[in-house]
Amino acid sequence: MHDLDYWSREGRTDLLGGGARLIPIHTPHGDFKVWTKRVGHNPRIKLLLLHGGPGATHEYFEPFDSWLPEAGIEYYYYDQLGSHRSDQPDIPDLWELPRFVDEVEQVRLALGLSADNFFLLGHSWGGILAIEYALAHPQHLKGLVISNMVASIPAYNRYAQSVLMPSIEPAVLAEIQALEAAKDYENPRYMELLVAHHYVHHVLRLPHAQWPDPVNRAFAHLNPKVYVPMQGPSELGASGKLVNWDRDADLHRIQVPTLTIGATHDTMDPAHMAAMARAMPQGRHLLCPNGSHMAMVDDQEAYMSGLIAFLQDVGSRA
């Protein structure tokens, strides 16, 4: 997997190449730049990838390099504003869902993507962003992929309370909750417990020592100034600005062909993700039977094969 620094943060010097590009973004709080990189060429299928977090990076998508080029799919890595290779302004008012939707639309325009070829894939938080974009700008989409994300944060929190937390040993859960009650999130013990008793079961089902480099880089580069205000500090549910986000009742408005991807061991309820597909007029569902929240890594063949089949099918339509 590649690990290239395309521009120097210290000198703000562009070192762009190989399909990488900085795109100007206009906001109510100033103008900034976001990083994108094109891989491949296909006039009928152009896939823009929305990473999770909020405030994570494109890096954990790098396994796509082993699958999509061979399938002839053009795709775009993209670090959202506030993320690793893009500008990271310390302006809390920027971290709002409507502004992120507007950012995606500016990126689409800059890349020249249109309803003839524009596919949008959002994973985790990126799935929220993809749903909101599809509701706001449906006329520009050829197809949509909602990966490992439910359409309701209240539903996610209920699943965390009823399924995820009870799966943790009671003594361990009590210690995690005590650290959260004390707001001691920076305590190394907090992540130590979460990784051993939650992450390796529901986030990425590999021993932590075997997590691949792109995943480790994405976690290392997570921007807490974006993540915490929107998601909240707890890793067992959401409590930030997104806490009341719920689009279950609006899914029927998404008319474009849409694939929801879930996984048996996901942090998100697999049954909810299957129901989302049934709620959309052209919805389809892919279950990764051996995967977790990062199924593109731990159930890669099921994830990539299903994704490619969807893109090629919809992309072949006039």
State the catalytic residues: 124, 266, 293
Nearby residues of 10 by Cβ (< 8 Å), 6 or more positions away: none
3-state DSSP percent of the chain in helix, strand and coil, to 5: 45, 20, 40
Q: How would you classify residue 12: left for phi > 0, otherwise alpha for psi between -120 and 50, otherwise beta?
A: left
Residues 15, 17, 23, 24, CA torsion sign:
positive
Nearest to 172 by CA among 186, 153, 192, 187: 192
Nearby residues of 105 by Cβ (< 8 Å), 6 or more positions away: 133, 136, 137, 140
CA-CA distance, 90 to 229, in Å (whole number)? 12
Tokens (6 digits) for 105: 């639309």
Q: What are the angstrom distances between the C-alpha of 231 and each of 43, 55, 253?
A: 36, 10, 26
Q: What are the angstrom distances between the C-alpha of 258 and each of 107, 212, 282, 315?
A: 21, 29, 6, 12
Beta bridge partners of 216: none
Strands (E) located in the chain: 7-8, 13-14, 20-27, 30-39, 46-50, 74-79, 118-123, 143-147, 258-263, 283-288
Do the Cβ atoms of 239 and 232 come closer than 8 Å? yes
